[in-house]
Structure 1
Amino acid sequence: MLEKKTNTYEKTVLIGVLNQHQDLAKVTEYLDELEFLTYTAGGEVVARFTQKMDVPNPKTMIGSGKMQEVEAFVEEHEIGSVIFDDELTPAQQRNIEKQLRCKIIDRTSLILDIFAQRAQTSYARTQVELAQYQYLLPRLTGLWTHLERQKGGIGMRGPGETEIETDRRIVRDRISLLKKKLQKIDRQMETQRSNRGALVRVALVGYTNVGKSTLMNVISKSEVFAENKLFATLDTTVRKVVIGNLPFLLSDTVGFIRKLPTQLVESFKSTLDEVREADLLLHVVDISHPNFEDHIESVNKILGEIDCTSKPTLMVFNKIDQYQAETLDEEETERTSKHFTIADWEQTWMQRVDGNALFISALNRDNLEDFRKRVYAAVREIHVTRFPYNNFLYPENLDEYM
């Protein structure tokens, strides 16, 4: 059902809307991320369009003048897909599709498409398929004739390709069947988690593409798939790790992202269960990204939604080797956070999180020894609290094993 990615890049156009919640800088940032998502899905961004609107057009999201501008560009450059950064209503999608006569995709559909490409195991494929059907259900009207005309490509991987005759009743039945299948797998995974014994559980969490899988490989000496694309990891990977002589379980989870589709949050509940049941969270951050603090906020928001904000957490700022502070221009009179050095950020975040912060490069293995010591100390504290009678087995200082 889920189609593999091809090597040809599809010509696409991105559209963002400026409003009271999103100024030009924020929309530009979102479109940068949307372009990376498009590249991950197999698309080539040819142009971007933005429009300032306090209230989105209920029929076409953007105004009629801007629509005519986009229409002319699409026709002239033979654009295959137009991708909106904000989620479109079914009516908006149909109206825009009718006028532009090409595939119309929103951020939610694009993320679902990437998940469809990345799903490897039966469990992940089932989760993605459920999310796709939930997204498609309110969009069935008028969709199938469009799918007959445009097959394959970005946003078209999924149930629509082979189920042209599908109606709402069949889709609802399929959703019900997939939910039952996931419930069965969930029970199996819950049994697996309960059989892991009393080892301390540590979960890597963070925004997508921050280097969690690379860090997982370095710590556990395993070969977890890692790639410089969004959502390289969908399935949760669990490895037994030993630091000193202290064993614990380390899990690598799916990366978070802003505007994460609610369908995926619902479908990937079991993946998030690894986070819920963890004793310690390692919140990995790509400090080289200019908006890494916004990423931290987005991750914390999702952690709040699954009631995990109170868990012991180590902030792990990764990719220090790629970080570059901006120089102070002659016109700038005040030094801001964009001019901070790594040392400045260390001081800042150490104060914000009571010293529970680390600055490393997983790729270059910079400061990994300090990382091992800090993780050992955090895991040991949880372990000896749970099993005080054998705390003599694990000295407080990891250096005693060196």
Structure 2
Amino acid sequence: MVAARSSQGAGQNAERAILVAVEFTGERRKLTSAARLARKAAAVSADSGQLGFDEGEVAKVASVRAVDLDFDASLAEFEELARSAGAEVAATLIQRRARPDPATLVGQGKLEEIEGVLASTGADLVLFDHDLTPSQLRNLEAKLPCRVIDRTQLILDIFARHARTREGQLQVELAQLEYQLPRLAGRGKAMSQLGGGIGTRGPGETQLETDRRKINLRIDHVKEQLEAVRRIRRQQRQRREAVPVPVVALVGYTNAGKSTLFNALTEAGVLESSRMFATLDPKLRQLQLPSRRKILLSDTVGFIRNLPHTLVTSFRATLEEVERAEILLHVRDASSPMMDEQKAQVEKVLSELDITKKPVIEVLNKADLLTVADREQLTEGILVSGLKKQGLEELLAAIDDALVVDPLIRVRLRIPQSEGSILAALEAGAVLEKKRFEGNLAYITARGPASLLNRFSRFTERI
């Protein structure tokens, strides 16, 4: 199956790519067979005057439909990945087969079809929406007159485009090196080139050769540099923790609108983009809650289905802010038909990072794209629009309520008016519910963080 595509807004120098998506139908056949049995059972039930499907059969039919929806969503996501890497999609080929071909993933017939489409479109590379084994990659490159890139290498290339900090660049390089190590044989020419297009963007400043020893040495060197960067990060965190400020981290599927929401809350002006993985390096900004408590809000890299394990490992340092956060804001695209499946993928990555016991606030973003009926169906989470800055007050109040570090307390204070610095500190850091002056005294009822109000316990009155 071939679908011709054109890339909207692709640059004139964009590489033309053929996308190959493969669905393995072994499990699908079982579901389809179950669905046929369910339809037959329904017909018999109808003839005998009984009710139709039982709950189990309905679930099996729903599973078949979910398979179709999941594959279509996965294909659309892969096309967006290709565009995010700077490719112009020349054609999309779809294959359904019972199991992967051990030599080429797709088999000889589909391989000949790919060759024909390459000849007719003049494409520069073939992108597979699947991870290829080292032998499959070598066989495909031997038979196709162009470069072959699998899903992991494509994601690594996008990460290489977006890494801006030294730490981010080192983490990408480490992931690329670990990916390339088992795939050295037969790739000498490609491995010695830097910046030659999608999938050839070199991970380091030196040319990589096919010598395994040299790459292992480079991996060790990158790890040492990363550890030096992490030591600096730890020192910065220790200085931060000397004056403790809770960290609240945004997590979520890629392109769920985390950076847009981050900007709406903090006015930080970080890059907002519809492209996948536009945010790679973590951002931290201070934010004041309605209670006047201050938090550090962290914007993190987005997750995606089948996120390469090498990336999860290499980017553990970047995700340290998530590990240390008091609360996670799980930002979800409320307009996506795959919202629940995306949630499961995010939770899977958090589980790999052993981050499953933290308080989580579900934030349903892009509410401006929903109809009234859509909104009514969403019963859990806080509806917001980072783009339109809607629902932010409710979100901030929810963060306030969820914070257990530095809890809110209410005190009544009697403070001499001569203590101007104390009055100013209360104005800045707490909510003053009542305030009156008698003589040279100020009587104040304040609600705010215990760390602040307990400093003035000598002026406290009983409530």
Return the match for 1:361 from 385, 392, 395.
Answer: 385
Instruction: Tell me if the contact between 1:384 and 1:391 (Cα under 8 Å) persists in the aligned partners.
Output: no
Specify whether residues 21 and 37 from structure 1 end up closer, same or farther in structure 2 by C-alpha distance, changes over 3 A only.
farther
Higher-Rg structure is 2
Give the CA deviation at 1:257: 0.8
Counterpart of 1:117?
Answer: 161
Matched, 1:67 2:100: no
Q: Check the 8 A contact 2:330/2:363 in 1, yes or no.
A: yes
Distance 2:107 2:142 in 1: 15
CA deviation map 1:306-357 (0-9, x unaligned)? 12121011000000111358xxxxxxxxxxxxxx621111x2x2xxxxxxx2
Counting only pairs closer than 5 Å after superposition, residues 29-108 of structure 1 correspond to structure 2 as 29-108=73-152
Shift of 1:372: 2.1
Name whichever of 25-34 and 226-235 sits farther off: 25-34
> Equivalents in 1 of 2:245, 2:252: separation in Å?
23
Matched letter for residue 11 of structure 1: R
Does the CA contact (< 8 Å) of 1:14 and 1:31 recur in 2? no
- Say which of 260, 263, 268 aligns to 1:214: 260
Deviation at 1:236, TM superposition (A): 0.7
Q: Which ranges in structure 2 are unaligned for 5 or more consecutive residues?
A: 1-9, 29-66, 414-428, 434-445, 448-463
Cα distance in structure 2, aligned partners of 1:149 and 1:254: 28
User: What is the rounded CA distance, in whole Å, between the counterparts of 1:378 and 1:202 in structure 2?
Assistant: 11
1:279 paired with 2:326, answer yes
CA distance in 1, matches of 2:194, 2:168: 26
In structure 1, C-alpha distance between the alignment counterparts of 2:386 and 2:17, rounded to whole Å: 34
Equivalents in 2 of 1:232, 1:251: separation in Å?
15
Contact 2:333 2:365 in 1 (8 A): yes
**Alpha-carbon spacing, 1:79–1:213, altered in 2? closer, same or farther (3 Å):** same
Structure 2 counterpart of 1:235, from 277, 281, 286: 281
Query: Residue 102 of structure 1 aligns to which amino acid in structure 2?
Result: C
* Displacement of 1:383: 2.2
Distance across 1 between alignment mates of 2:411 and 2:14: 58
Q: Tell me, yes or no, if structure 1 residue 15 matches structure 2 residue 39.
A: no
Contact preservation (8 Å) 1:18, 1:24: no
Alignment of 1:252 with 2:299, yes or no, is yes
Q: Deviation at 1:360?
A: 0.7
Q: Counting strand residues as a fraction of each chain, which structure ranks higher?
A: 2
Q: Secondary structure at the match of 1:270?
A: coil
Secondary structure of the corresponding residue to residue 91 of structure 2:
strand
Distance 2:139 2:371 in 1: 45
Question: Are 2:312 and 1:307 aligned?
Answer: no
What is the TM-score with the length of structure 1 in the denominator? 0.85
- Find the counterpart in structure 1 of residue 418 from structure 2: none
- Distance (Å, rounded) in 1 between the aligned partners of 2:432 and 2:104: 62
Q: Which amino acid aligns with 2:222?
A: L
Partners of 1:9 and 1:217 lie apart in 2 by 30
The SS at the match of 1:228 is: coil
Q: Does 151-160 or 291-300 show the bigger shift?
A: 151-160
Question: Which AA in structure 1 matches 2:289?
Answer: I
Q: Report the secondary structure of 1:250's partner residue.
A: strand
> Following superposition, which runs of at least 4 residues in structure 1 exceed 3 angstroms of deviation?
20-25, 146-151, 159-162, 388-397
Q: 1:166 to 1:146 in 2, by over 3 A?
A: closer
Comparing 184-193 and 295-304, the one that deviates more? 184-193
Secondary structure of residue in 2 paired with 1:205:
strand
The answer to whether 1:194 aligns with 2:244 is no
Give the number of equivalent residue pairs: 369
Q: What do residues 263-310 of structure 1 show as CA deviations (whole Å, max 9, x unaligned)? A: 111110111111010000100001111111111110011111112121
| CA distance in 2: counterparts of 1:11 and 1:81, whole angstroms | 7
- 1:231 maps to a residue whose letter is F
Offset of residue 26 of structure 1: 2.5
Could you tell me the TM-score, scaled by structure 2's length?
0.75
Percent of paired sites with the same residue = 40
SS of equivalent residue, structure 2 residue 176: helix
Counterpart for residue 176 of structure 2:
132
Distance (whole Å) between structure 1 residues aligned to residue 376 and residue 306 of structure 2: 32
CA RMSD of aligned residues (A): 2.6
Give per-residue Cα distances to partners, 1:190-235, cap 9 Å, x unaligned: 2212221311110010011111111111111211121111011111
CA gap 1:49/1:103 in 2 versus in 1, 3 angstroms: same
Q: Is the contact between residue 199 and residue 249 of structure 1 (CA under 8 Å) also seen in structure 2?
A: yes
